[in-house]
Structure 1
Amino acid sequence: MSSSKASSPPALHSNLEPVPVSGCLICGAAARHREAIRPLGNTVGVHNMNGIIRQHPHRVTDGEGVAA
């Protein structure tokens, strides 16, 4: 007997954060802001910046910088 489960995204540990995409202005700004507010103890702000880095769209390229 096999059970069928809905797939869900893998759980991320709280100490793992998204890495900004090199050359992306949005990622860069969010990462700089995240590092500026982290020492202030603003965990909600850090979480929000992680969401921006993780979820905003990036254009897919063919490896040579040309949008595919």
Structure 2
Amino acid sequence: MVKPLQNSASWSDTLKTRKAHLNSLLKTIDARAGKTSQIQTLTVKAIKAEMAHIESQLNRRK
């Protein structure tokens, strides 16, 4: 069973880590030269949307 996080500082750290991970994935996808497929475009949009959601959660916690 997964224990829930106990304090808001650790939750903020988790969000920051997730955002950094998504940012590195975004750089990996964008680094590829050439044509971008529709799947790549949708993936980039989904990653950016998730990063925006994480950012809003971090701003709410401040």
Please tell me the TM-score bracket, short chain as reference: 0.3 to 0.5
Q: Which structure shows the higher helix fraction?
A: 2
Q: Give me the TM-score of the superposition, normalised by structure 1.
A: 0.36
Greater C-alpha Rg: 1
TM-score, length of structure 2 as denominator length: 0.38
